[in-house]
Structure 1
């Protein structure tokens, strides 16, 4: 089974003509299936560039039309623009569109209004759904790359829970954080409402539902004593705990993770943040693989499968 995908600028008269013919073919042919996507005129060029780059196509105009084989998957087959589609319809189905320019312009205007209304409705629905606010400290570390897909694909918090991720680190890691944000945005996780970077410690943990503390120290007892490492960890927690108390939600859950001192960090956060509910502070002394996912989900009383 195949579906013809029609995409174009919402106000494009050529898209309107192609859509009109596609609707006719779908209504009159048993196996002709159509999927239509409109884009805002201001977003069209970037969207088109991304689609063509992903599929290895060359196309510069609106609309762009391709066929997808639903049972095989993989890359679609590019048909082209309006002229190519009209030739295709004439050759295979012996029909064409007699839509006049004035009618094309009128439908294009209607399409734009419909598109704007749909976007507005979607935004209103999203505004009513408050995403879970997740803050990750020391977020420039490589473990964050493993953690973001785990949080954003619904495996931990469920397939219906949208999330906003806040990456926190010092100013020297600003570029690293920016790279992580861009990469996560490119992955386009459906449950990831937003992802942002933060380097101002005073603004940390605002409205946080979950705080994941990734700060770790690389133990080398030949360089300095264990007591000095513990002092480092203690200083970090003395900064974080009061900020969590001040800025996070009252039911915030704090997850201390890392290869070293995970349990100590959890204990110190309890000590320096006495108003944080002790039962909401947990330690995961392992890497964020399947065992960590299962442990985290269990301690948060959630299913690991969403």
Structure 2
């Protein structure tokens, strides 16, 4: 069996991280033969909740999970990392737009990018989930100049899945029959879901989205608003 890899999840006491940790720890993400040391970072007021998450993971007695390290210290969380999954961020509140969210999150991702630069392996792979993911990822990458830029990715899967599902429902097919949807921008009112390259599988034939939906006004109006 391989040597354990060190995997960090930030915002680890939150609901999104809670939905990820079990899958990571039991081998769904990195494979059934890859042992894991799981590092869990959250802010100091959340440590009590985080310790509860640790106990739940321990109760699962997962064979691949070699160690769990909960912490509120970046120098501990980012040390010798192989993978960093940056979930934690300031959530959007009522009335907040992207600029408001950026102002709140820039310090978080500057700090975490600096910690990656200082403590993580130079081969670390970084996935930014915290919204606005594209910009947060750019900030983190800028603050870690010695880590290759191709090692940074961001995830806006919610919006991508929502766009696919909207098209699928409109066409009366499963979402698996819809491909090549593109999401431009962050999760905000300025985001643009693009179906110009989208194909829908109708009765075994791949049809351009506009031909499959047959409602340009919907695609250019309510569809964009819904996503």
TM exceeds 0.5? yes
Show the counterpart of 1:240. Answer: 112
Which TM-score applies when normalising by structure 2?
0.65
Match of 1:198 in 2: 71
What secondary structure, in the 3-state scheme, does the structure 2 residue paired with 1:254 have?
strand
Structure 2: runs of 5 or more not aligned: 163-227
Distance 1:168 1:132 in 2: 17
Partners of 1:226 and 1:261 in 2: how far apart?
7
Q: Any conservation in 1 of the 2:117–2:144 contact (CA below 8 Å)?
A: yes
The secondary structure found in structure 2 opposite 1:155 is coil
2:156 alignment partner in structure 1: 285
Residues 241-284 of structure 1, C-alpha deviation per residue, up to 9 Å, x if partnerless? Answer: 111111111100001014x2111111111112111111111111
For residues 109-148 of structure 1, what are the structure 2 equivalents within 5 Å? Answer: 130-148=3-21
The C-alpha deviation readout for 1:113-161, integer Å capped at 9, x for no partner, is: xxxxxxxxxxxxx9xx531100111111012221112112222111110
CA contact (8 A) 2:47 2:72 kept: yes
Q: Secondary structure at the match of 1:167?
A: strand
2:111 aligned with 1:263: no
TM-superposed CA distance for 1:286, in Å, is: 3.0
Call closer, same or farther: CA 1:261–1:225 in 2, change over 3 Å: closer
CA contact (8 A) 1:257 1:286 kept: no
Of 36, 39, 42 in structure 2, the residue corresponding to residue 169 of structure 1 is: 42
Residue pair 2:10, 2:87 contacting (<8 A) in 1 also? yes
> What SS does the corresponding residue of 1:217 show, helix, strand or coil?
coil
Distance 2:89 2:43 in 1: 14
Taking the aligned partners of 1:154 and 1:262, their CA distance within structure 2 comes to 25
- The structure 1 segments of at least 4 consecutive aligned residues displaced by more than 2 Å after TM superposition are 201-204, 216-222, 224-228
Corresponding position of 1:97: none
- Structure 2 equivalent of residue 214 of structure 1: 87
1:253 equivalent to 2:125? Answer yes
Query: Could you tell me how far apart the structure 2 residues matched to 1:178 and 1:221 are?
Result: 30
Q: Distance in 2 between matches of 1:141 and 1:158?
A: 24
Cα-to-partner distance string for 1:45-102 (whole Å, 9 max, x where unaligned) = xxxxxxxxxxxxxxxxxxxxxxxxxxxxxxxxxxxxxxxxxxxxxxxxxxxxxxxxxx
Give the Cα–Cα distance (whole angstroms) in 2 for the partners of residues 186 and 220 of structure 1.
Answer: 35
Unaligned runs of 5+ in 1: 1-125, 292-306
Matches within 5 A, 1:1-306: 130-220=3-93, 222=95, 224=96, 226-258=98-130, 260-286=131-157
Cα distance in structure 2, aligned partners of 1:154 and 1:218? 29
* Structure having the higher Rg: 1
Structure 1 residues 273 and 185: alpha-carbon distance in aligned structure 2, compared to 1, 3 A threshold: same
| 8 Å Cα contact 2:12-2:40 kept in structure 1 | yes
* CA RMSD after TM alignment: 2.1
